[in-house]
Amino acid sequence: MYPPRVDSDQRAKISQLLEAVVAADGVIKPEERAFVRRAIERWKLPVPEAPQSLRSLGNATNALRTLEPEAQSRVLALLVDAATVDGEVDPREHALLLAAAAALGIDATALEARIVRQLGAARG
């Protein structure tokens, strides 16, 4: 998955969304921090500073909706990867992912299938 072509404002939003997902359960595990660090390097993102406001479902989905359409599904996939990297998905992370998928018109079944795949890969 190559990074979408987005401007610096959108890159900052992606970085903030990543931080919001890994911080949704109130604990950032070492593997989550490492994942975010790799994403920052790969996508050339700024260091995330997710404001508390992005940890709310509505604000996070609004931020996701403001991204370029071709970037939205890739970013959602990246958020799923971030949420599953520790081998589990906290209910708060899950709720954020479901809300984000709904905001983008992505079927919940497709999202759940990706979560299951990624959890299997993280545990395997």
Domain boundaries defined on the chain? 8-123
State the Cα torsion 31-37-38-43 to the nearest 10°: 140
Those residues with Cβ within 8 angstroms of residue 23's Cβ, 6 or more apart along the chain or in another chain: 50, 55
Q: Which CATH class is domain 8-123?
A: mainly alpha
Residue 31, C-beta contacts closer than 8 angstroms, at least 6 positions apart: 85, 86
CA separation for the pair 55, 40 (Å, rounded):
19
Is pLDDT of 2 > 50? no
Type of residue found at 83? A
For residue 53, the model assigns a pLDDT of 54
d(CA 42, CA 73): 17
pLDDT in tens, 101-118: 998 889 999 999 999 999
Are 97 and 80 spatial neighbours (Cβ–Cβ below 8 Å)?
Answer: yes
Give the pLDDT of residue 1: 46
Residue pLDDT, tens place only, 43-61 = 888 887 655 555 566 777 8
4 pLDDT band, cuts 50/70/90, is low
Under DSSP, the state recorded for 27 is: -
* 82 pLDDT more than 70: yes
Pair 74, 6: CB distance under 8 Å? no
